[in-house]
A and B are shown apart, each in its own frame.
Chain A
Amino acid sequence: MEFKLGNIFIKDLQFGSKTEVKDQTLFVNKDELTEYLLEDEHLASVAIDIARPGESVRIMPCKDVIEPRVKPEQDGGIFPGMVSKMFTAGQGTTHVLKGVAVVTTGQIVGYQEGIIDMTGPGAELTPFSQLNNLVIVAEPAEGVVTYQHEAALRKMGLRAANYLGEAARNLTPDETITYEYLPLHQYHEKYPDLPKVAYVYMLQSQGLLHDTYFYGVDVKNMTPTFMYPTEVMDGAIVSGNCVSACDKNTSYHHLNSPVIHDLLARHGKDLCFVGCVITNENVTLLDKQRSSDLTAKLVEYLGVDGVIISEEGFGNPDTDLIMNCNKIENKGIKTVLVTDEYAGQDGTSQSLADGSPLANAIVTGGNANELVTLPVLDKVIGNVEPAEVIAGGFKGSRKDDGTIVVELQAIMGATNELGFNKLTAREY
């Protein structure tokens, strides 16, 4: 069974009278998109702007980043069960507008969202500075309570991405990548001599604006389950996570999940990637014990030699990570953990809240407490006022000359725990 991903490379983003792709430029009809987004009665207004790589623009506070995609063989958009009708993701063909993204901003309770700088030292730290971003600032309608506001903003971003994705429906991709997915026994039969590897994909699910959705299901209410790797590529997993910008997985990260894509690139060569176990990071000990027990059981059932486990967020999810590690290692299956660190601004504090002697192979996305100074940029989309109250900011973050000093924690995707960034740490 095969899934085809067709990439269409976009070099520029402009407003135009019709939403279409011409000569590698995506033109967007702003009025049509605005009207479409305001069909949601929870929104009072939307303001749409463009931020391109290298421009002196700061976007903050950002909520989600989403890549536009479409399935040319079927009507409607991706993100099944969430903003589109239900279908099983990761089958057939999908077209991707590569090089553009929708970025959603707007004040939500807590302001705990991140910064994207399109130039300067901040731009070095976020992958989203390299994209042509369609930035949408939305204001809620009167009487909309905070949880409805978050849901409206989340769905607005996905709908906007689907609207843009339509422009790719009848295009011929510049490149097509074919991925194989098979029933479990066929993996074992087809690749008897290759080591079998699975991926344990931990999803943030602590509630209170730390949520993730699987086909529209709030993952804090699910037990661990199996997922074909290609399912993420049609938006089976969607971010509803507003917290800790540096190491939350945006919907863009999920669509392009690096662990999955890298394992698929090696599948059939030096390893056999049999699929993913998705699990959550809940707020009670019983939930953590249940999810880690059932994750270890599913991994055992897949009959693999090793797993990669990635975390989302930090603090108490470190315990979910270590529980998953211990329980899987105790079944005789090797683990490699992917996380980031909160080692203090000088890097000398304990990096994780929990640990284990069995956690002996760990990849880090960097130290989220490190400081960075962001210079004044010409234009701000959103609002700089939250700089002192977003995660990673502190009293004194905003200097008199307009510069902002923050921990990497405040930068979107800076220490991403799927490896979607440039930072790491090595021991010599």
Chain B
Amino acid sequence: MVKEIERAGIAVVHICTVTPISLTVGANRIVPAVAIPHPLGNPKLSEKEEFSLRKKLVEKALSALATPVSEQTVFED
């Protein structure tokens, strides 16, 4: 899906846990997620802490979307 949307000229950020697979399939902007069963959350955290985690992930993805890249890039911390 990432590749097909990019083929249509729209930049994509792939938020995913297993970044090596994302690199293998050819995503250009990759943001590491939390864990496979819960990529965008963490059930061990309190509601407030989890909201903060989710907000940071989305902000990081938006910032990656606005960052020019010349090769496949994983946006580490």
Q: Do A and B come from one complex?
A: yes
CB pair B17–A316 under 8 Å, yes or no, is yes
In the complex, chain A residues whose CB is within 8 Å of the CB of B18? 285, 288, 316, 319, 353-354
In the complex, chain A residues whose CB is within 8 Å of the CB of B20? 319, 322-323, 354
How close is B3's CB to chain A, nearest CB, in angstroms?
Answer: 13
How close is B38's CB to chain A, nearest CB, in angstroms?
Answer: 9
5 A-B pairs besides A285-B19, A285-B32, A354-B18 with CB distance below 8 A are A208-B37, A284-B35, A353-B18, A353-B21, A354-B20
How close is B12's CB to chain A, nearest CB, in angstroms?
Answer: 19
Interface residue from A285, A322, A323, A354 paired with B17 (Cβ < 8 Å):
A285
CB pair A207–B24 under 8 Å, yes or no, is no
| Interface set of A (CB-CB < 8 Å, partner B) | 206-208, 283-285, 288, 316, 318-319, 322-323, 353-355
9 pairs across A/B with beta carbons < 8 Å?
A206-B37, A283-B17, A284-B35, A284-B36, A316-B18, A318-B21, A354-B20, A354-B21, A355-B24
CB pair A283–B24 under 8 Å, yes or no, is no
Given contacts A283-B17, A284-B17, contact A316 B24 (CB under 8 A): no
CB pair A207–B37 under 8 Å, yes or no, is yes
How close is B27's CB to chain A, nearest CB, in angstroms?
Answer: 13
Q: Is B34 in the interface zone, CB < 8 Å from A?
A: yes
How close is A179's CB to chain B, nearest CB, in angstroms?
Answer: 37
Interface of B is mostly: loop
Distance of A318 Cα from B37 Cα, bound (Å):
16
What total of A-B pairs shows CB separation below 8 Å? 35
What 0/1 pattern do residues 58 to 71 of B give for CB contact below 8 A with A? 00000000000000
How many B residues, CB 8 Å from partner?
Answer: 11
Identify which of residues 33-52 in chain B touch chain A, using a CB-to-CB cut-off of 8 Å.
34-37
Can you list the 5 inter-chain pairs with the closest CB atoms, starting with the nearest? A283-B36, A283-B35, A284-B35, A316-B18, A319-B18
| Interface set of B (CB-CB < 8 Å, partner A) | 17-21, 24, 32, 34-37
In the complex, chain B residues whose CB is within 8 Å of the CB of A208? 37
How close is B16's CB to chain A, nearest CB, in angstroms?
Answer: 9
Chain B: CB-nearest residue to A284: B35
Chain A: CB-nearest residue to B19: A285
CB pair B24–A354 under 8 Å, yes or no, is yes
Distance of A123 Cα from B36 Cα, bound (Å):
34
CB pair B21–A319 under 8 Å, yes or no, is yes
Distance of A282 Cα from B24 Cα, bound (Å):
19
Distance of A322 Cα from B24 Cα, bound (Å):
11
Distance of A41 Cα from B51 Cα, bound (Å):
40
With most chain A CB atoms within 10 A of its CB, the pick from B20, B32, B34, B37 is B20
In the complex, chain A residues whose CB is within 8 Å of the CB of B21? 316, 318-319, 353-354
Distance of A319 Cα from B16 Cα, bound (Å):
13
Distance of A208 Cα from B32 Cα, bound (Å):
22
In the complex, chain A residues whose CB is within 8 Å of the CB of B17? 283-285, 316
How close is B34's CB to chain A, nearest CB, in angstroms?
Answer: 7
In the complex, chain B residues whose CB is within 8 Å of the CB of A206? 36-37
In the complex, chain A residues whose CB is within 8 Å of the CB of B32? 285
Distance of A206 Cα from B24 Cα, bound (Å):
22
Distance of A354 Cα from B21 Cα, bound (Å):
6
Distance of A207 Cα from B36 Cα, bound (Å):
10
Distance of A319 Cα from B18 Cα, bound (Å):
8
Chain A: CB-nearest residue to B24: A354
In the complex, chain A residues whose CB is within 8 Å of the CB of B37? 206-208, 283
Distance of A207 Cα from B43 Cα, bound (Å):
14
How close is B61's CB to chain A, nearest CB, in angstroms?
Answer: 16
Chain B: CB-nearest residue to A316: B18
In the complex, chain B residues whose CB is within 8 Å of the CB of A323? 20
In the complex, chain B residues whose CB is within 8 Å of the CB of A285? 17-19, 32
Chain B: CB-nearest residue to A206: B36
Interface residue from A207, A284, A319, A355 paired with B34 (Cβ < 8 Å):
A284
Chain B: CB-nearest residue to A356: B24
Distance of A51 Cα from B58 Cα, bound (Å):
54
In the complex, chain B residues whose CB is within 8 Å of the CB of A207? 37
In the complex, chain A residues whose CB is within 8 Å of the CB of B36? 206, 283-284, 316
How close is A312's CB to chain B, nearest CB, in angstroms?
Answer: 15
How close is A362's CB to chain B, nearest CB, in angstroms?
Answer: 16
How close is A406's CB to chain B, nearest CB, in angstroms?
Answer: 25
Distance of A207 Cα from B37 Cα, bound (Å):
9
With most chain B CB atoms within 10 A of its CB, the pick from A283, A285, A316 is A285
